[in-house]
Structure 1
Amino acid sequence: MDARELRVSRFLSRSCATPPRPCRRVLRARLLPVGAALGAVALLGGCSPVAGQASAGSARAPEAGVPRSADQLQSDYQRVIKDVLPSVVQIRAGDSLGSGIVLDGKGHVVTNAHVVGDERAFKVTTATGEQELSAKLVSSYPQQDLAVVRLDHPPKGLKAARFGDSRKVSMGQIVLAMGSPLGLASSVTQGIVSATGRTVSEGRSGGGTGATIANMVQTSAAINPGNSGGALVDLDGRVIGIPTLAATDPELGSGTAPGIGFAIPSATVRTIADQIVKNGKVTDSGRAALGITGRTVLGASLSPSGVAVVSARDGGAADKAGIRAGDILTALDGEKLTTIESLTEALAADRPGQRVEVTYTRDGDEHKARVTLGEM
């Protein structure tokens, strides 16, 4: 990855994110508005192809001179699109637009938490585009930038998407991204899996959730505002992720950096969404935590130099290890901590119950503690 600082965009019509700065395999981002208005999107909406162009799902006869292998790949694309696109919806939340994936015939739809924002009622348009359906929020889980809404009156024949195992995704695998970029419902782009195991942090500005998400799938499939909450699928027609972030390069000015997008892995999506559908909320995040409230502290040069413990929850992981308010955390398992965001990123790949070594200073003296991580 280019060592230049990136900015990451949210795939929401009204906003975007500032991306990631490389730190080992960690990417960091803040969310910033992009100013795409719903009114402008409405002028672009609809599924009709541009005159003279075939729609995404239309078949066409093989052209003379086209190798059989290319014709077969085209057929695979069209088969997957025809199979999966009916399970991808457009979601209107207040003055912004995003996408979603149908989970079941009862009308549950999973999307990004930043798509639903603070809204509790939504308008959902299915791939047929026949009418807007009303829906209500079941629960939002900003910590993983995921949410589930439910249609008030699910239409007959509502088709649930099939989910694949994101743990088996590999670099070079062909993928398709489906959603409503810029309000263009039922749009499809194609690319490959560029990398796996990325950890990306969103900022909180512009309505961002501040989530740090581990094991994200990086893809070259074009991702634009409005794709958030849609589907990243393989050629077996299985959802392997939810497009959530795109990178922008400051040297390019406005707009996304071509070919750098990130999707929340399907394993995370199913873990969180299934709990929301079953219990109405997330009961087991699977995310590790120290059980502290902290803030970034500045060193003598006024640069970030650690995480000050504001409070340690009674009986929490840090409290049990003897860490207390006033201590300054400087490293986790040897990885330097400079900001509260760096602590969140360091914990993203860990699991509750895992033992880690925390380095901290107290009254100017350095100490180390073995901590058994709790759950977020």
Structure 2
Amino acid sequence: VPDHRSAHPRRRRRGGGVPPLIVRPERSSCGPAYQPHHPGQPHLPGQPVPPWGPAPAARPSRAGKFVGAGALVLALMFGSGVAGGALALALDGDGGVTRTYSAAPVLNSADLPKIAAAVQDSVVSIITDNGEGSGVILSADGYVLTNNHVVASASGDTVKVVFADGKTAQAKIVGTDPKTDLAVVKAGGVSGLKAAKFGDSDGMQVGDQVLALGSPLGLQGSVTAGILSARDRTIQAGSEGQQQDPQRAASSISGLLQTDAPINPGNSGGALVNTRGEVIGINTAIATAGQGSNGNIGVGFAIPSNKAKDVAEKLQRGEKVSHPSLGVSVNAAEDGGALVAAVTPGSAAEKAGLQRGDVITKFGDKVINDSNDLVGAVQSGKVGDRVEVQFKRNGSAQTATVTLAETS
């Protein structure tokens, strides 16, 4: 591929790249896992059998491989020096409120350039020692929202930000939240930046048109178009090419928006916008066709703007981001539901009397068909929520009330 940097200063083709994010849906975690064996993993020959015995076999995963949409070290839970705790993200529950959906206008192709032009100045490139990602401007004085796995590749506490006009600035990492894969940086010596306008991600409907903006493969200012393919997706994330640490549970990100707008390495942290030019998601992951492939196949994921904005505001203020935990590791059960592979000592689940081998079929008012359903249901709650759980133990239907705790 020819190098076009001399022809267009905003297009930069950066070489290299690092192992991308992958997903293992059959190994879900709703909180901290036992040590040292990873609950939910089949027992392997030559490994010591954990105190509770080999975990029950999970159903074969029907999901594909998911990779981080950034040409950077995808720290998450599997790289060296990564902050502890599994990723966990979900939309807030409705709380009994009836929501009215307001569809974004459907536009023809002639309208899309206007939308892209209106948003491009609010999207930046973020460069670290190991690669390049994207970011969205939060404020005129230099706060920028991006993915945690983008800044996790920085060797120190600063990154380089490249604005749409080609100007650059050093930015300090203000705060990170690995569990939602979000981070905020603050560019120094800048003012008058164009902050992005955030829209209501809960108001988006499947089929709505969207645009993805960012720096795929270092090509800053790139725009792609598609639709919102699905809502409320849950993925399990790891790092391709790196051996999974058996002492860590799989990283779960739930409540995600799915889109077929082409997203590629380098788009991480960039904007997914609606036809009003509002940011309704932060691009974070993509699916690939198989081993050795990490390009777009039309299955990408974005963190909903409502969640992203809430986390970003807390990080800007230096506040802790709260994450609910049930304290179990689960697999998909043969006949439906989430099979409890392990219960963390002292967790909400243990206090409520849940045991290894229980099959959770309902969490509050949400029917649980597999382990991903349970991850999403738990993360849609709040710390301190009291939730009735329906489960089967040895074929007998039972109920318990759990009080969601803070993820450690």
TM-score, normalised by the number of residues in structure 2: 0.65
Taking the aligned partners of 1:152 and 1:360, their CA distance within structure 2 comes to: 56
Correspondence for 1:223: 263
Contact 1:87 / 1:101 at 8 angstroms: preserved in 2? yes
Contact 2:216 / 2:265 at 8 angstroms: preserved in 1? yes
Q: Which has the higher contact order (CA 8 A, sep 6+)?
A: 2
Taking the aligned partners of 1:96 and 1:366, their CA distance within structure 2 comes to: 51
Q: Indicate the SS of the match to 1:129.
A: coil
In the alignment, which of 274, 282, 307 is matched to residue 313 of structure 2? 274
Contact 2:361 / 2:392 at 8 angstroms: preserved in 1? no
Could you tell me how far 1:89 is from its partner in structure 2?
A: 0.5
Contact 2:330 / 2:340 at 8 angstroms: preserved in 1? yes
Could you tell me how far 1:196 is from its partner in structure 2?
A: 1.5
CA distance 1:229–1:13, shift in 2 (3 Å): farther
Is 2:191 the counterpart of 1:163?
A: no
Correspondence for 1:82: 117
For residues 7-54 of structure 1, the C-alpha deviation after alignment (integer angstroms, 9 at most, x for no partner) is xxxxx953322246599xx9968776999689xxxxxxxxxxxxxxxx
Could you tell me how far 1:309 is from its partner in structure 2?
A: 2.2
1:165-244 aligned within 5 A: 165-203=200-238, 211-244=251-284
TM-score, normalised by the number of residues in structure 1: 0.70
In the alignment, which of 121, 132, 140 is matched to residue 97 of structure 1? 132
* The structure with more strand, counted as a fraction of residues: 1
Correspondence for 2:180: 144
Taking the aligned partners of 1:33 and 1:231, their CA distance within structure 2 comes to: 15
Contact 2:343 / 2:350 at 8 angstroms: preserved in 1? no
Identity level (%): 37
CA distance 1:14–1:204, shift in 2 (3 Å): closer
Amino acid at match of 1:282: K
Contact 1:121 / 1:137 at 8 angstroms: preserved in 2? yes
- The RMSD of aligned alpha carbons is 3.8
Contact 2:135 / 2:214 at 8 angstroms: preserved in 1? yes
CA distance 1:328–1:337, shift in 2 (3 Å): farther
In the alignment, which of 288, 309, 315 is matched to residue 343 of structure 2? 309
Taking the aligned partners of 1:35 and 1:236, their CA distance within structure 2 comes to: 26
1:241-320 aligned within 5 A: 241-250=281-290, 254-256=293-295, 258-278=297-317, 280-283=318-321, 285=322, 287-290=323-326, 292=327, 306-313=340-347, 317-320=348-351
CA distance 1:195–1:366, shift in 2 (3 Å): closer
Is 2:155 the counterpart of 1:124?
A: no
For residues 264-318 of structure 1, the C-alpha deviation after alignment (integer angstroms, 9 at most, x for no partner) is 100110110011112x1334x3x4312x3x5679x9xxxx9632224214xxx33
Contact 2:70 / 2:266 at 8 angstroms: preserved in 1? no
Could you tell me how far 1:205 is from its partner in structure 2?
A: 5.4
Contact 2:386 / 2:401 at 8 angstroms: preserved in 1? no
Contact 1:102 / 1:159 at 8 angstroms: preserved in 2? yes
Correspondence for 1:357: 389
Contact 1:197 / 1:217 at 8 angstroms: preserved in 2? yes
Taking the aligned partners of 1:204 and 1:80, their CA distance within structure 2 comes to: 34
Correspondence for 2:403: 372
Could you tell me how far 1:168 is from its partner in structure 2?
A: 0.6
Taking the aligned partners of 1:225 and 1:188, their CA distance within structure 2 comes to: 14
Correspondence for 1:18: 22
Taking the aligned partners of 1:374 and 1:237, their CA distance within structure 2 comes to: 38
Contact 1:198 / 1:218 at 8 angstroms: preserved in 2? yes
* The structure with more helix, counted as a fraction of residues: 1
Contact 2:236 / 2:250 at 8 angstroms: preserved in 1? yes
Number of residues of Structure 1 aligned to a counterpart in Structure 2 = 310
Correspondence for 1:115: 150
Correspondence for 1:6: none
CA distance 1:234–1:33, shift in 2 (3 Å): closer
Correspondence for 2:95: none
Taking the aligned partners of 2:260 and 2:294, their CA distance within structure 1 comes to: 15
Taking the aligned partners of 2:216 and 2:160, their CA distance within structure 1 comes to: 17
Could you tell me how far 1:106 is from its partner in structure 2?
A: 2.1
Structure 1: gaps spanning 5 or more residues: 1-11, 39-71
Contact 1:305 / 1:337 at 8 angstroms: preserved in 2? no
CA distance 1:356–1:201, shift in 2 (3 Å): farther
